[in-house]
Amino acid sequence: MGALTFTLKAPPTVRVDLSPLTPEKLAGLKPRDLSKLPLVAGRDGFTVGDLFTVRAGDAGTIVIDGGSGLFDSVGAEMGGGTIRVTGDVGARAGAGMRGGRLHIEGSAGPWLAAGLTEGRISVTGDAGERVGGALPGRMAGMAGGILTIGGTAGPRCGDRMRRGLIVAGACGHEAGSRMVAGTILAGRLGPDAGVLMKRGTLIAGRLDGPPPPTFVSCGEHDLQVLPMLAAWVATLGLANPPAVPRRVTRLQGDMAALGQGEILLSA
């Protein structure tokens, strides 16, 4: 059986919550029932059939053919299976995801992968702010899993992150803010990276602007862990992954917080 496919009829004009369309929630449903599923959208809401043409298939593999920046919570809370979106998604894609694979062939909005605990999310384009971060009111950001972004992640990437890996072509300002642990690898980091980070590792080819004033230089090093990380990143199948530097300048901080975090910059 092929993938369960939702083909977009016409671009939406209001924000639509697509969190009902996950492999777990759709397992066992007939195509007719699928079309009647209500979606929270705008003031009135509508059904899946109003937005998409449904082609029956294995609910373990979902394809959303045609994206929109107004599609929120795509794959949120999903626990397994695969969702592939051809096009953009809006806010909170993969938020609270517990397993499986979410592949977005386009760009994503803010809070992508917020609170992700396991599984893998990949975005070929750019992403909004606080990806891998903590949803408002939550203490913890991403706590496991892998998030890869082909383009640029917005500000505060990995906010309050505590475990897992984020790989991005570049990060906006304040990447790794309030980070508790975990690893962010980027080709380039925006200004004020690592602000208030307790532990965790930011790795980049370079940093925009001066080193943050509350980070202290620990000199240049060849760290044994970096080739291992490079080997792992190479297995992720990314089109154009940022290089993991072999020799790095180690900046320790944020000394205004616990100070056990680090920014490793290509030396």
Partner 1 sequence: MPKLKVNGIGIDEGFAEAFDMAATGVVITADTIEWARVAAFSMTGFATSVIACGCEAGIERELSPDETPDGRPGVRVLLFGFSPQICETQIVTRVGQCVLTCAGTACFAGLPDGTPIKLGASLRYFGDGHQIAKQIAGRRYWRVPVMDGEFLVEHHTFAVEGAVGGGNLLFLATSRAAARAAAEAAVAAMRDVPDVIMPFPGGVVRSGSKVGSKYKGQPASTNDAYCPTLKGGVKSALDPEIEAVLEIVIDGLSFAAVQEAMRAGLHAAAALGRESGLRRIAAGNYGGKLGRHHFHLKDLV
Q: Are 230 and 213 in contact (CB under 8 A)?
A: no
| Collapsed DSSP state (helix, strand, coil) of residue 145 | strand
Query: What DSSP element (H or E) covers 230?
Result: helix 225-234
Encoding tokens for residue 264?
A: 């490793």
208-227 residues near partner 1, rule: CB under 8 A = 221-225, 227
- Which of 91, 126, 201, 207 is close enough to bind partner 1 by CB under 8 A? 201
Beta-strand ranges (E) seen in the chain are 3-8, 16-17, 38-39, 46-47, 52-55, 58-65, 71-72, 82-86, 101-105, 120-123, 143-153, 163-171, 183-189, 201-207, 216-222, 247-253, 261-266
Rule CB under 8 A: is residue 163 a binding residue for partner 1? yes
- Which of 164, 169, 194, 241 is close enough to bind partner 1 by CB under 8 A? 164
Rule CB under 8 A: is residue 235 a binding residue for partner 1? yes
11-40 residues near partner 1, rule: CB under 8 A = none
120-139 residues near partner 1, rule: CB under 8 A = none
Q: Are 7 and 52 in contact (CB under 8 A)?
A: yes
Least separation, in Å, of the C-beta of 208 and partner 1?
25
Nearest CB to partner 1, comparing residues 56 and 181: 181
Least separation, in Å, of the C-beta of 267 and partner 1?
14
Nearest CB to partner 1, comparing residues 15 and 199: 199
Nearest CB to partner 1, comparing residues 11 and 227: 227
Contacts of residue 231, Cβ cutoff 8 Å, sequence gap at least 6: none
Q: In the complex, which residues of this chain contact partner 1 (CB under 8 A)?
A: 163-165, 181, 183, 199, 201, 221-225, 227-229, 231-232, 235, 260, 262
